[in-house]
């Protein structure tokens, strides 16, 4: 891409990453003093960029949370069989994911149920014909290759999982990640579950409650679960991500859990600014640019560092929001629709801040689109865009055309079994019927860029190493920021609001 002074713009973008990922922000944990300081910084930047406050208290929209904290030292797990019990090592073999519904004691039979997917639109069910009443369901993230990625992702969301398992009568769930799909390594999954877990203070009437027992299991210890069942980990792992059916079967030993949980409440805030639209009619329609401001805060030390700074995840996205606001202000932009700049809280706790905003928007009017940024990975030069939701709405052809004009390729998620479509804040807008995309830098399969992404996931993602000392391509970030700013303006000025494609599964949410 040619045009602006990319080095200067890259330095400006990086200055906001530096501010938000500084140790003084203490990892921006939801509900902490560090997060409040970060929110104040974003509000100040929004004001300096000429945005109007659009929260319930200036730029802030307060959100209440229930907090559950595992007391690991007072909790235990074991496998119980005819010859006695075998302890399950917390952090090594498995870890407990506590919620407001976690019970102190539970012992139950368990069954392996494949992916635990129930997809009526495709007449697919992993749970049909199984007796799961009072039992614990064991399942993998992912799904068969012959199902569309976004549909598989939707039915693996926490709410859909809980809905399906509760409908089947299950007493709990044990989740395993697919070791063939690059993602968060097990040690960081286990230590991450020691951080405070959060839920919105009030559940909606249609939201299913969490399970009485939820565990994450180390896939490298899968054989421990399968002992005596007649099946092996190698057999099951070989079938993951293919179209072949996966066997479902009872496990030979019961799961026994004793869980101690500390429960509190906390308030935090989304940060909301608006650039009002200039058209008398369209100004009451809103195009949202979103990014999550929170990260993991202070947690278990890794290499002596306890501050999970979250430079890429997701100071990078919030810095882009801030830069777009400043650039539009400097250009005197007057979009027809109003542009909302939304930095949300609680993404790392389950997309909670965006869930609250989508249900309780602090604006009067209708939201017509959301363009979300979450860890958009400026680790290498910008050559292409990866877009979640690319083929679901009229936003897809628009971003393809914009990318083509800039000399960039545009493609969908190359790893759909990471289910990224439901793992960031655009998903809550989708469930509210709003056409939405999440954009990041793309790469070719087998390329050095793919290796850079996989190295980040292995070595830095959700660890203190996602800090200000990592290699970052600031000019690529500046180019991405400029492109996204143009896209926001284009959507805001289009006479037609974005629409779901007729064949999109997600169209049903707009009915």
pLDDT in tens, 248-279: 999 999 999 999 999 999 999 999 999 999 99
What is the rounded distance in angstroms from the CA atom of residue 203 to the CA atom of residue 86?
37
pLDDT of residue 260: 98
pLDDT of residue 150: 84
State yes or no: cis peptide before 314, omega within 30 of 0.
Answer: yes
What is the rounded distance in angstroms from the CA atom of residue 212 to the CA atom of residue 103?
5
Q: Tell me the whole-structure pTM to 2 decimals.
A: 0.95
Tens of pLDDT, residue by residue over 217-241, are 999 999 999 999 999 999 999 999 8
What is the rounded distance in angstroms from the CA atom of residue 54 to the CA atom of residue 175?
39
Cβ atoms 273, 343 nearer than 8 A: no
CA nearest to 346, candidates 266, 447, 236: 266
Q: Residue 32 gets which letter from DSSP? A: S
pLDDT of residue 416: 78
Three-state secondary structure along 330-396?
A: HHCCCCCCEEEEEEECCHHHCCHHHHHHHHCCCCCCEEEEEEEECCCCCCCCCCEEEEECCCCECHH
pLDDT of residue 436: 97
Beta-carbon-side half-sphere exposure of residue 380 (alpha carbons within 13 Å): 17
**Residue 498 CA: distances (Å) to CA of 263, 327, 328, 420, 433:** 42, 24, 22, 22, 11
pLDDT of residue 372: 98
What is the rounded distance in angstroms from the CA atom of residue 460 to the CA atom of residue 344?
22
- SS3 state at 23: helix
What is the rounded distance in angstroms from the CA atom of residue 231 to the CA atom of residue 31?
45
Cβ atoms 155, 193 nearer than 8 A: no
pLDDT of residue 272: 98
Cβ atoms 249, 111 nearer than 8 A: yes
Q: Residue 498 gets which letter from DSSP? A: P
CA nearest to 42, candidates 340, 321, 328: 321
Q: DSSP string of 151-186?
A: HHHHTTSHHHHHHHHHHTT-SEEEEE--TTS----H
Residues of the chain with pLDDT under 50: none
φ, ψ at 142 (rounded to 5°): 115, -160
Domains contained in the chain, CATH given: 6-67+264-506 (3.40.630.10), 72-259 (3.50.30.30)
pLDDT of residue 55: 97
What is the rounded distance in angstroms from the CA atom of residue 91 to the CA atom of residue 37?
32
33-48 and 316-331 are packed helices; what angle lies between their axes, rounded to 10 degrees? 20
- CB neighbours of 76 closer than 8 A, spacing ≥ 6? 87, 88, 90, 257, 258
Spell out the alpha helix ranges (H) of 240-340. Answer: 316-331
């Amino acid at each position: 891409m040619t045009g602006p002074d990319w080095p200067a713009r890259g330095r400006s973008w990086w200055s906001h990453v530096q501010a938000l990922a500084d140790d003084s922000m203490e990892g921006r944990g939801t509900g902490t003093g560090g997060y409040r300081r970060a929110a104040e910084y974003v509000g100040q930047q929004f004001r300096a960029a000429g945005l109007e406050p659009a929260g319930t208290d200036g730029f802030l929209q307060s959100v209440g949370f229930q907090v559950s904290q595992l007391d690991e030292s007072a909790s235990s797990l074991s496998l119980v069989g005819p010859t006695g019990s075998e302890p399950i090592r917390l952090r090594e073999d498995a870890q407990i994911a506590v919620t407001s519904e976690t019970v102190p004691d539970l012992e139950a039979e368990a069954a392996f149920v494949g992916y635990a997917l129930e997809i009526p639109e495709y007449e697919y069910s992993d749970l049909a014909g199984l007796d799961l009443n009072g039992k614990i369901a064991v399942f993998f993230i992912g799904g068969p290759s012959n199902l569309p990625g976004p549909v598989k992702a939707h039915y693996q969301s926490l709410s859909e999982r809980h809905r399906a398992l509760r409908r089947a009568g299950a007493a709990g769930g044990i989740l395993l990640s697919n070791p063939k799909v690059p993602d968060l390594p097990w040690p960081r999954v286990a230590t991450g579950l020691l951080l405070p877990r959060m839920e919105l203070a009030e559940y909606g009437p249609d939201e299913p409650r969490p399970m009485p027992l939820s565990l994450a299991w180390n896939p490298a210890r899968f054989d421990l679960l399968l002992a005596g069942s007649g099946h092996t980990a190698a057999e099951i792992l070989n079938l993951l991500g293919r179209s072949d059916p996966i066997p479902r079967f009872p496990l030979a030993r019961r799961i026994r859990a004793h869980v101690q949980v500390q429960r509190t409440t906390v308030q935090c805030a989304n940060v909301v600014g608006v650039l009002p639209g200039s058209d008398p009619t369209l100004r009451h329609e809103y195009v949202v640019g979103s990014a999550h401001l929170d990260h993991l805060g202070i947690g278990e030390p890794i290499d002596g560092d306890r501050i999970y700074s979250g430079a890429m995840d997701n100071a990078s996205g919030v810095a882009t929001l801030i830069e777009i606001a400043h650039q539009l202000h400097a250009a005197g932009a007057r979009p027809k629709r109003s542009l909302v700049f939304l930095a949300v809280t609680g993404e790392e706790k389950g997309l909670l801040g965006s869930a609250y905003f989508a249900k309780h928007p602090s604006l009067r009017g209708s939201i017509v689109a959301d363009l979300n940024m979450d860890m958009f990975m400026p680790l290498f030069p910008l050559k292409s865009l990866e877009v979640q939701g690319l083929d679901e709405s009229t936003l897809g052809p628009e971003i393809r055309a914009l990318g083509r004009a800039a000399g960039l390729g545009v493609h969908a998620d190359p790893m759909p079994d990471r289910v990224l479509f439901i793992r960031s804040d655009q998903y809550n807008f989708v469930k509210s019927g709003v056409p939405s995309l999440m954009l990041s830098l793309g790469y070719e399969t087998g390329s050095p860029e793919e290796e850079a992404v996989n190295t980040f996931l292995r070595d830095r993602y959700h660890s203190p190493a996602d800090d200000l000392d990592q290699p970052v391509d600031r000019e690529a970030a500046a180019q991405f920021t400029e492109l996204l700013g143009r896209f926001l303006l284009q959507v805001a000025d289009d006479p037609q609001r974005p629409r779901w494609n007729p064949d999109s599964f997600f169209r049903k949410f707009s009915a």
